[in-house]
Amino acid sequence: GAGVSQSPSNKVTEKGKDVELRCDPISGHTALYWYRQRLGQGLEFLIYFQGNSAPDKSGLPSDRFSAERTGESVSTLTIQRTQQEDSAVYLCASSSQGGNYGYTFGSGTRLTVV
């Protein structure tokens, strides 16, 4: 596609429910990243996928968070047993392989846990 697409754009869920967020990267981009941005705060790295290599999960805040990506396509970020502190905008970005390339971000999913 022309850009990074994220869905849903907004999600309201009850505390304790599981949610799944989706990211469609730019076609041909081998690298995919998830970030979290709480209200009024900076971006927090969550997880990074590069091709078929093992993902860098070092930013995931707890074992309630997991993410998957099949090959170089769609990625899903799953949050189990959501808590109010999970409320944030979840941003996905993709990039071509190699350090010379920049990142392209999606519009984000705004998650509200009530």
Residues lying near another protein in the complex (CB under 8 A): 6, 31, 33, 41-43, 45, 48, 50, 56, 89, 91, 93, 98-100, 102-108, 110
Q: Is 13 or 107 the residue whose CB approaches another protein more closely?
A: 107
Q: From CA 53, how far away is CA 104, in angstroms rounded? A: 21
Pull the structure tokens for residue 39.
């209200």
Beta carbon of residue 16, minimum distance to another protein (angstroms, whole number): 26
Report in angstroms the alpha-carbon separations of 90 from 19, 74, 77, 98, 99.
Answer: 12, 15, 9, 24, 24
Q: Is 82 or 109 the residue whose CB approaches another protein more closely?
A: 109
Amino acid at 8: P
Q: Is 64 or 110 the residue whose CB approaches another protein more closely?
A: 110
Rg (CA), the chain: 13
Beta carbon of residue 76, minimum distance to another protein (angstroms, whole number): 18
Beta carbon of residue 81, minimum distance to another protein (angstroms, whole number): 27
